[in-house]
Amino acid sequence: MNNNLCNKSIYDVLKERDLIKQITFEEEFKELVSKEKVHVYLGIDPTADSIHIGHFIPLMMLSYFQKCGHTPIILIGGGTAFIGDPSGKTDMRQMLSKEQISKNVDNIIKQVSKFISFEGENAAIIVNNADWILDLNYMDFIRTYGIYFNVNRMLAAECFKQRMEKGLTFFELNYMLMQSHDFLKLFENHNCKVEIGGDDQWSNMLAGVELIRKIHQNGSFCLTCPLLLNSEGKKMGKTVNGALWLDEKKTSPYDFYQYFRNIADSEVYDVLRMLTFLPMDEVKRLSSLQGSDINEAKKIAAFEITKLVHGKEAAILVQNTATALFENNNNSANMPTVEINKNLSGLDNGIYLVDALIACNLVTSKSQARTLIEQGGISVNDLKITDSKYVIDFTDFKDNFVVIKKGKKIFIKLVLN
């Protein structure tokens, strides 16, 4: 997949887009990647059946490495998922069964292939650490590698701080050793010298670099990408229904597009430089637009990101849908559609609006629905509703549907079946 993006070093490409947050042995790394093509790995634990927006930037970084001729390795944490990374967590992660982990692995591999190629001269490699972790003899492992880890330093690591407040288990403390061991295995088996990840992984990644250098006295490196933050300094990607997933069954392409279409003006630059492949000259031009013109930049950002995740055809469809809704008198032809059963509320003449909002995934609870209605945030067929006990009468379903509007920008075509 070397499309010769880089007539310059991958280091320069990442720096231009400000995609490096922290890096080890920076000058040594610059020299390495300017002289040779390397193997670089990103670890993803299959703790869910989809990756989310938090994985997006590391995958973009990995894609840039590949476009510059380096070889990506995706390490699926089928083994470490049995422990669960405690980084940044206040509670212990839920333990998953082998069957759950296996299903999650299959889904994640499909999603990752949208960012990197498994064909060509520097085709990406997939490995699963379950292949070596699940058969480890613990006494052999701890005798061989435990001597390289200082417990005082481990407990001071940023990744453990939040868990320390409630009580870090010894089970979780092993995660740093396991992740470091992963890097060592890839170094020894694939000559992999670089690990990348989100900035919340810095402590774990640093431990892996140190382990390799202690054992082999040879070059290993890690670099983290910045977290994607909104204008309030909080992680982007949180919606009323939870995380912004890359699986269309969990977050529809339309909702995905609309999320980025509705970002704040101040977020345009970061979204364009971090989540699209647009040249930096174009990123700077678009993000410098003023007034209503900045909306064009948001449309381009939403289209480019949706195209990358869901494909060009889906991106065109949702863009046309949004245009029809917001610029062409709320045309319902391509409006997101939800089908519901006539017996949803158990009424003979209609359905409760509260039940309809939950069925449309516009809210997560009846109490949230009632509050939204009473505050004037919901309309049915352009009629604003403030009665939380409102019933949508079956006679309101013209041509078998009604249009529910949340706020100014979210429309759902509700169809009876």
Q: Which residues are annotated as catalytic?
A: 47, 52, 55, 89, 93, 179, 200, 235, 238-239
DSSP-based three-state secondary structure for 62: helix
Query: Taking the CA atoms of the chain, what radius of gyration do you get in angstroms?
Result: 24
Distances (CA, A) of 274 to 90, 126, 226: 28, 24, 9
Span 105-132, pLDDT tens digits:
888 888 898 899 999 889 999 999 988 9
Span 340-377, pLDDT tens digits:
888 888 888 899 999 999 998 888 899 999 999 999 89
Helix (H) or strand (E) run with residue 266 in it? none
- Using an 8 Å Cβ cutoff, are 72 and 58 in contact? no
| Residue in the block written with tokens 């890096």 | 23
Output 118 or 80, whichever has higher pLDDT: 118
Q: Residues 6 or more apart from 107 whose CB is under 8 A from it?
A: 49, 50, 247
- Using an 8 Å Cβ cutoff, are 203 and 153 in contact? no
pTM of the model: 0.77
378-380/401-406 β-pairing? antiparallel
Neighbour-count burial for 114-150, b at 16+ CB within 10 Å, e otherwise: ebbbeeeebebbbbbbbeebeeeeeeeeeeebeeebe
DSSP-based three-state secondary structure for 139: helix
According to DSSP, the residues that pair with 403 across neighbouring strands are 413
What is the residue type of 351? I
- 344: number of CA atoms within 13 Å, CB side? 24
| Residue in the block written with tokens 């994640």 | 108
For residue 294, the tally of other CB atoms under 10 A from its CB is: 17
Span 16-70, pLDDT tens digits:
999 999 999 999 999 999 999 999 999 998 888 888 888 889 999 999 999 999 9
Could you tell me which of 377, 51, 389, 345 has the C-alpha nearest to residue 198? 51
* Domain annotation for the chain: domains and CATH numbers: 10-225 (3.40.50.620), 238-327 (1.10.240.10), 337-416 (3.10.290.10)
Q: Which of 139-153, 182-196, 319-333 has the highest mean pLDDT?
A: 182-196
